[in-house]
Structures are given as structure tokens and as C-alpha cells.
Amino acid sequence: MTATVDLTPYSGVDPDASWAEEIRALAKERDAVLLAHNYQLPEIQDIADHTGDSLALSRIAAESDASTIVFCGVHFMAETAKILGPEKTVLIPDVRAGCSLADSITGADLRAWKAEHPGAVVVSYVNTTAEVKAETDICCTSSNAVDVVRSIPADQDVLFAPDQFLGAHVKRETGRENLYIWAGECHVHAGINGPELAERAAANPDADLFIHPECGCATSALYLAGEGTVPADKVKILSTGDMVTQARSTKARSVLVATEIGMLHQLRRAAPEIEFKAVNDRASCRYMKMITPAALLRSLREGRDEVHVDPEIAARARGAVRRMIEIGKPGGGE
Ligand code: 13P
Ligand code: SF4
């Protein structure tokens, strides 16, 4: 029997003005930059120096002059920052903040899969452990996955891991038959399903649909568009950062959002005049929500939890992560 890890978040601290003042002062003292993913709690997003999607935050981490990065997100994101900046101190406010998608493939799984497809190019989503990245040719995020696969010569087999829904999106967009997809998923996005989306779209006929490609409903959305239930130009498959960019330019007055609900905060900030509604308002990632005001305060007061990546694994993973940040559009973050 495996021991169950206690995932009770650190609590007991109010995100009030004195908290905010102490966070800013401690960050300055530590020469730290605070990065927050779009799924973080609103108070964490608001105190951060930068918020954004996985790609934008990786790029910001790589370019930052700060000697310490405090990554308010999940563990693979902090590991990616450490791979890109091994000389930096990288802190995550709660090291238990994992990711069900990253857990769906191990380094050993990937090595075995590669052995079945000799010569294939391996593309791994950034939502993977450092060990998986070390076995990978090019990493990608939801924002540049299509561009990454397009950058590979058409006659070369591609192994795409670990998200099956993002993989299906990439296969549709590139029309590539020689793309093999690992059957992993994120429990939060897989739970946003097609029937739920169809019901919400029918009740909100004028709304745009912003859909993250990790969602179980992404295929259904395109099917609804294909059969004319939803106008095709209303269906947008977007990374979290691209949702913010799209919110600033859409003419729609109402938008249905299919992703983790932390996203609504950035969207409402970007376009307060639009009504944003979650397709599934229970789609909350418990790992992202472990970065509480108490956890962030502890992190900055005590220098916890420091993220280490084995230098040999980091060296093998660095090329794949660097290729990821070089390919494709900017990613959404500010
Ligand atoms: P992006 O921020 O790259 O869209 O990814 C979303 C995600 O699920 C991260 O866990
Ligand atoms: Fe991982 Fe899903 Fe949570 Fe993103 S939302 S961190 S993919 S478990």
C-alpha cells in the first residue's frame, strides 16, 4: 500500500494590505521575481510581478535578471525554470503542488515507447517531469504545440506525450498521420465534457467558446461547429494566455470558458465589459490552489520550498526546453 500524501494547503493568513506589503518587502530583500500562472488564486495573481501561460512564464523566467524565482504554479513549471536557469534559486511555495497530467508518463514509460519507434522525434508537453524532458527532443506548451510539430520534417514519425486531447488537436491542425499520441490526461480538463459544453452553448447562443486544448470537450466543440449547432467562428481553441489576448479583441458580449476556473480572474480583468462564464464551475485544480497566501508568505520568509533538478538530467533536458521557448508566437503573459 502506498502512503497517501497530505495535500491540505497552508492556511490561516489573510491576503490583506499588510500581507501584500510584507510579500513585496520580502521579495525585494531576496531579489526575487514572483511569477503566477493564470490558474492561481486571484490574490496570488494580483501580487505577482508577472502572470501568464506556461510558455510566457518560461520565457520570462529565462530572461529575468532576478537571482531568485518564486514560481506560483505547479512543480513542473518551477522545475522548467530551474532547468533554464540552473544558477538561480527557484522556490515553489508548496512543493506538494503536483500535476495529474505530468504524473501520467514516467521517464521509464517514455524510454520504452521510444524503443518501439526508433528514429521518431519526441515532443513532450511542458507538463512533464524533468526526467521525461531529458528523454525529449522538443518540449511544447498548449500555445505552440502546433508550431512545434510543424517544425519537424513531414516524413519523420512524431511521438507526442502525454496529453491525448492536446495531441488530437495537434493532429487535426497539422493533418499529420505519423503522429503517435500517449493516452494521458489532466483530470481537471478531461472532466469538462462534450454534453456539458453542448448544453451551455445551446443556452448561450451568442457566446464565444474559449476552449483549452487539454479539455475533453475540445473535439465535441469542433463537432458542434461542424454540424452547425455553434457557428464555427465562435469556437476558439486557445492556451490560457491566448484567451486573454482574444478577450481583448472579441466583439462578443458573453464568453463560455472551458478550462480551470482560475482563468476567469485574468479574463475579467482584461475585458470587464464581457460576461465570462465557466463551462464547468467545478473545474478547479487542487494543486494550483495549494499556493495560498500562507504558502507564499512562508516561502518568502523561509526560502522554501527550494526546487532542485539533478544537474545531469537538467543538462539533458535543457535543449528540449530551449527549443520550446524559441518556437512559435509569444505566449500570453505580462
Ligand atoms: P497553458 O498555461 O500553457 O495554457 O497550460 C495550462 C495548464 O494546464 C497548465 O497546467
Ligand atoms: Fe496539471 Fe491539470 Fe492542474 Fe494543469 S490543471 S496543473 S494540467 S492537473
To the question of whether residue 37 is assigned a binding role by annotation, the answer is yes
Report the C-alpha gap between 293 and 43 in whole angstroms.
Answer: 8
Report the C-alpha gap between 146 and 108 in whole angstroms.
Answer: 26
Q: What distances in angstroms separate CA 280 from CA 41, 201, 284, one per listed residue?
A: 17, 12, 9
Q: Give yes or no for residue 260 CB within 6 A of ligand 2.
A: yes
Report the C-alpha gap between 265 and 174 in whole angstroms.
Answer: 32
Nearest to 135 by CA among 153, 145, 120, 155: 120
Q: Give yes or no for residue 99 CB within 6 A of ligand 2.
A: yes
Mean pLDDT of the region 193-209: 92
Beta bridge partners of 17: none
Look up the CATH number of domain 17-97+287-310: 3.40.50.10800
pLDDT tops 70 at residue 2: no
Q: What distances in angstroms separate CA 310 from CA 79, 123, 130, 134, 300, one per listed residue?
A: 10, 21, 9, 11, 24
To the question of whether residue 54 is assigned a binding role by annotation, the answer is yes
Report the C-alpha gap between 296 and 301 in whole angstroms.
Answer: 9
Nearest-atom number in ligand 2 for the CA of 74 is: 6
To the question of whether residue 129 is assigned a binding role by annotation, the answer is no
pLDDT for 23-49, tens place per residue? 999 999 999 999 999 999 999 999 999
Averaged pLDDT of the chain: 94
**How many CA atoms does the CB half-sphere of 55 hold within 13 Å?**
25
Mean pLDDT of the region 10-22: 98
The gap from C-alpha 279 to its chain's centroid, in whole angstroms, comes to 18
Are 268 and 276 a contacting pair, CB within 8 Å? yes
Ligand 1 centre and the CA of 305: distance in Å? 22
Q: Give yes or no for residue 100 CB within 6 A of ligand 1.
A: no
pLDDT at 1 (0 to 100): 47
Nearest-atom number in ligand 2 for the CA of 102 is: 1
Report the C-alpha gap between 303 and 65 in whole angstroms.
Answer: 18
Which three three-digit cell numbers place residue 35?
Answer: 511569477
Read off φ and ψ for residue 82, nearest 5 degrees: -70, -35
Ligand located closest to 97 CA: 2
pLDDT at 334 (0 to 100): 65
Please spell the DSSP secondary structure of 279-328, one letter per residue: SSTT---TTGGG--HHHHHHHHHHT-PBP---HHHHHHHHHHHHHHHHSS
User: Strand 68-72 vs strand 89-91: parallel, antiparallel, or unpaired?
Assistant: parallel
To the question of whether residue 139 is assigned a binding role by annotation, the answer is no
Going by pLDDT thresholds of 50, 70 and 90, the confidence category of residue 323 is very high
Per CATH, 17-97+287-310 and 102-186+315-326 having the same topology is answered yes
Q: Give yes or no for residue 53 CB within 6 A of ligand 1.
A: yes
To the question of whether residue 186 is assigned a binding role by annotation, the answer is yes
Ligand 1: residue of 45, 51, 53 to mutate (most ligand atoms within 8 A of CB) is 53
Class of domain 188-278: alpha beta
Ligand 2: residue of 79, 103, 127, 185 to mutate (most ligand atoms within 8 A of CB) is 127
Cell numbers 525585494 correspond to 28
Q: Report the amino acid identity of residue 165.
A: F
Q: Give yes or no for residue 74 CB within 6 A of ligand 2.
A: yes
Q: Give yes or no for residue 141 CB within 6 A of ligand 1.
A: yes
Residue minimizing CA distance to atom 9 of ligand 1: 54
pLDDT at 333 (0 to 100): 62
Q: Give yes or no for residue 285 CB within 6 A of ligand 2.
A: yes
Are 240 and 38 a contacting pair, CB within 8 Å? yes
205: cis peptide before it, omega within 30°? no
Domains of the chain, residue spans: 17-97+287-310, 102-186+315-326, 188-278
Are 89 and 304 a contacting pair, CB within 8 Å? no
Q: Report the amino acid identity of residue 185.
A: E
Lowest mean pLDDT across 120-134, 188-202, 218-232, 273-287: 218-232
Angle at which helices 75-84 and 311-326 pack, to 10 degrees?
90
Ligand 2: residue of 37, 75, 285, 290 to mutate (most ligand atoms within 8 A of CB) is 285
Residue minimizing CA distance to atom 10 of ligand 1: 127
pTM for the whole thing?
0.95
Report the C-alpha gap between 109 and 231 in whole angstroms.
Answer: 41
Q: Give yes or no for residue 242 CB within 6 A of ligand 1.
A: no
Superfamily, domain 102-186+315-326: NadA-like (3.40.50.10800)
Q: Give yes or no for residue 58 CB within 6 A of ligand 1.
A: no
Q: Give yes or no for residue 214 CB within 6 A of ligand 1.
A: yes
pLDDT for 62-101, tens place per residue? 999 999 999 999 999 999 999 999 999 999 999 999 999 9
Which residues lie below 8 Å from residue 297, measured CB to CB, with a gap of 6+? 13, 19, 22, 23, 26
Are 16 and 52 a contacting pair, CB within 8 Å? no
